[in-house]
Amino acid sequence: MALSESAHKLKEMITKAIEDQKITRDEFDMIIHLATEDGHIDPQEKALLQELQDMIDSKMVRFVAK
């Protein structure tokens, strides 16, 4: 199954956060906005959001100031 356009954008942003091992509050807010802008979180988006949340919970990705 192909990724939706918003899921593709999410994947890019989440991949960047994983590579950097950090995320700003603005980046996190943009990710949430992308996931919810169409009023529906599809399965790919849900999986990507869960992956990011798991990495934040385990401190593999940390919140940082701008």
| HSE (side-chain half, CA atoms, 13 Å) at 15 | 6
Strand runs labelled E in the chain: 22-24, 62-64
pTM for the structure as a whole: 0.84
Query: Which pLDDT belongs to residue 3?
Result: 67
Name beta bridge partners: 65. Answer: none
What pLDDT was estimated at residue 9?
86
Residues of the chain with pLDDT under 70: 1-3
Residues 37 and 28: their CA atoms lie apart, in Å, by 14
If we measure between CA atoms, which residue out of 59, 62, 49, 38 comes closest to residue 14? 49
Q: What Å distances lie between residue 15 and 18, 39, 63, 64, CA to CA?
A: 5, 23, 15, 16
